[in-house]
Chains A and B, each alone.
Chain A
Amino acid sequence: MIEFHQVTKIFESNGNKVEALKNINLTIDKGDIFGVIGFSGAGKSTLIRTVNLLEYPSAGEVLVKGKNLTELSKYEIREAKKDIGMIFQHFNLIKSKTVFHNVAMPLLLSGYNKKSVEEKVFEILRFVGLEEKAKNYPDQLSGGQKQRVGIARALITNPSILLCDEATSALDPETTKSILKLLKRINKEYNITILIITHEMEVIKEICNRIAVMEDGQIIETGKVFDVFANPKKETTRNFVKSVIRDEVPKSVYQLLREKNHYSRIFKIEFFGANSGQPIISKTAKVYDVEINVLFGNITELQGIPFGNLIVELIGNDHEINRAVEYIISQDIRVKEVTEDGSKYRNNIKCVVGNTLHG
C-alpha cells in the first residue's frame, strides 16, 4: 500500500545540512495499522510527510498504491491526496468555520456546494459521534472532540489511507483511548490503512499490528508489535517497551531480599504470548517442593495476548528450587534470578542452574 524505497531527506538551512531521513526502506500493507515510534527529532514526522508530499524526498521514492506521487502532475497529486487523509497533533481546524464547514471543506475544495454535501457530512459526523456539534466552532470543543472533527474531515473523501501525525499526543490518557478506539473502528469498518507516528508506546500497544522504531533518521527495528515487544533488540526499543511494561525490579523486592530470614530465591518470570495462559505457577508449586510467593507482577495485554512479567519468591531447598526453575524454563518461559546487587539480573538462569546441578 505504501512503500518506502531508500528514502532520504536532507534539510538545508544556512549551509547546514541535516539528514532527517537516511535510506529508509519500509512497506506498509493494505488494511494494516502500522506504527512508527521514535523520540522527537528521530525523523518520524518527516517520514509520514513524504507519503502525501508535505515533504519531498531528497532521494529514493515513496510509492502509494504503487504510484510515485512525485512523478504525477500537480493536478494528479492533488487528486491523489484526496485518497490520503491526515490528522494532526494540534488538529489544525479552521477556527473561523463551524464543525460542519470544517468537515465539508475537502469536498468544497473539489467544487461541491455546501447543500449537496450535507448528507455526507452528517453521516460522517454521526460516525465520529459529533452530529449535534455541527453548528459549533472548534473553540467550543474539547481536545478529543476537535480530533474527532479532524478525523471526520480526513474521512469525508473516502480515503484508503489515513496518516496520523502524533494524533493523540495533545490528549489526556482517557481521551487518547477513545480516539484510538475510533481509529480501530475506522480500520475495521472502512478497511482503511492507517499509518501512525507517535512517541507513546501506549498508542502502539493499543492498536498497531506492526511497528518500526526510528532513531536518528533511520529505522533501527521493525516487525510485528508482539515480536518487537517480546524481543527488543536495540536499547532505544527496549526503553520504549519499558515505558508500557515495567521490567525493572521494584525497590521493595530488594528490601525484602535483604530482610528475609528464611532461605529463598527471587526470580523474574517473563511471559510472552500464549504460555502465560498456562497456570505455570500453581503447577510448579504442586509438582515441586517449593512455596511460591508472588511479590510483584506486571501483566498487560497485547492484541489480546497476555504479556509481561511476574517476580516470585521461591521458598524451599536449593535442589527443589533449581528443579522448579528448570521446569519453568522447559515450558519455554524466560526466568531470571534477582539478586541483591542486581549483578545476576539479566543473566539467564539456565547456566546458573546448570552449574549447580552438575557442579
Chain B
Amino acid sequence: MEVSTEIILNALWETLYMVSISLFFGGIIGIFLGILLVVTREGHILENRVIYRTVNPIVNIFRSIPFIILLVAIIPFTRLIVGTSIGTTAAIVPLVLHIGPYFSRLVENSLLEVDEGIIEAAKAMGATPLQIIYRFLMPEAFSSLILSITTATIGLIGATAMAGAIGGGGLGDVAITYGYQRFSSITILVTVVILVVLVQAIQEIGNKLERRVRRM
C-alpha cells in the first residue's frame, strides 16, 4: 500500500508544528539558561556560584539523556502539562525539554565569544548588569545566535522523527509506519527527500540572515 500525498502533507504539517512550537518555548528556555550560564560564572557580571553549580549539571543531565528515552521517561510530566501523553501536542513537551538545554549550550558559546573588552567598556560606562546583557552582550552575539538557532532547529527536525513513538506523527513517523513497517521504499525516499530539502532550506536561510546581520 502506497502512501497518499495527503498523508505526506499532513505529516509535514505536523513536523513543522512540532518544530515551531517547541523551538519557540525551547528557545526562550535556552536563551534564559544560556545567559544564566554565562553571567553567573566566576568573574562575570553576576557571578553566583550557587546558581551556576545548579544550572550547569541540570543542563548536562538533560543533554545526556537520549531523546527517545526522555520521550517516554517524562510521560507523567507531559500529562501534567498538556493533559495528554499521546499525540502531536504531547510530543512538544519532551521536545522543549530536549532542545532547551541543548540550545542553552549554543547560546552560552555564542555569548562567551563576545570580546571581554566590550563588557569592560560597558562597566566603565556604568551600565547595569541587565543593560550589559541586552545592550552589549546580546547585540554582539546576535549573528552567532542566529547560527545557533539554525543548528537547534535542524536538531529539532531530527528529534521529531522519534515523536512517532508516542503517536506524535510527523514525517519521521510516516517513514517508519508506511516505509519501514510496510516495506514502502518510495515512502522512505519521499520523506527523506522532504527532510533533506527542509534542512537545506533552513540552513540557507540561517546563513543568509547571519550574513545580513553581521554584514554591516
* Chain A residues near B (Cβ < 8 Å): 52, 54, 77-82, 84, 86, 88, 90-98, 105-106, 108-109, 137, 139-140, 153, 157, 163
| Residues of chain A contacted by B127 (CB below 8 angstroms) | 78, 109
Docked complex Cα distance between A91 and B128 (Å): 20
| Residues of chain B contacted by A157 (CB below 8 angstroms) | 125
Total A-B pairs, Cβ < 8 A: 64
Q: Please tell me if B117 contacts chain A, counting CB pairs below 8 Å.
A: yes
> A82 contacts B126, CB within 8 Å?
yes
Docked complex Cα distance between A172 and B62 (Å): 51
A80 (CB) vs chain B CBs: closest residue: B126
> B117 contacts A96, CB within 8 Å?
no
Docked complex Cα distance between A49 and B115 (Å): 18
A52 to chain B, nearest CB (A): 6
> B143 contacts A86, CB within 8 Å?
no
A339 to chain B, nearest CB (A): 52
B213 (CB) vs chain A CBs: closest residue: A96
A146 to chain B, nearest CB (A): 12
Partner of B139, one of A91, A96, A106: A96
Given the interface pairs A108-B135, A109-B135, the reply to whether A92 lies near B120 with Cβ below 8 Å is yes
Partner of B124, one of A54, A90, A108, A137: A54
Given the interface pairs A86-B121, A88-B117, A88-B120, the reply to whether A96 lies near B126 with Cβ below 8 Å is no
> A81 contacts B124, CB within 8 Å?
yes
Q: Please tell me if B123 contacts chain A, counting CB pairs below 8 Å.
A: yes
| Residues of chain B contacted by A108 (CB below 8 angstroms) | 135
Partner of A90, one of B117, B125, B135, B142: B117
> A92 contacts B143, CB within 8 Å?
no
> A137 contacts B128, CB within 8 Å?
no
| Residues of chain A contacted by B124 (CB below 8 angstroms) | 52, 54, 81, 84, 86, 163
B121 to chain A, nearest CB (A): 4
> A97 contacts B139, CB within 8 Å?
yes
Docked complex Cα distance between A86 and B124 (Å): 7
| Residues of chain A contacted by B128 (CB below 8 angstroms) | 78, 109
> A139 contacts B117, CB within 8 Å?
no
| Residues of chain B contacted by A79 (CB below 8 angstroms) | 126
Partner of B125, one of A93, A95, A97, A105: A105
> B143 contacts A96, CB within 8 Å?
yes
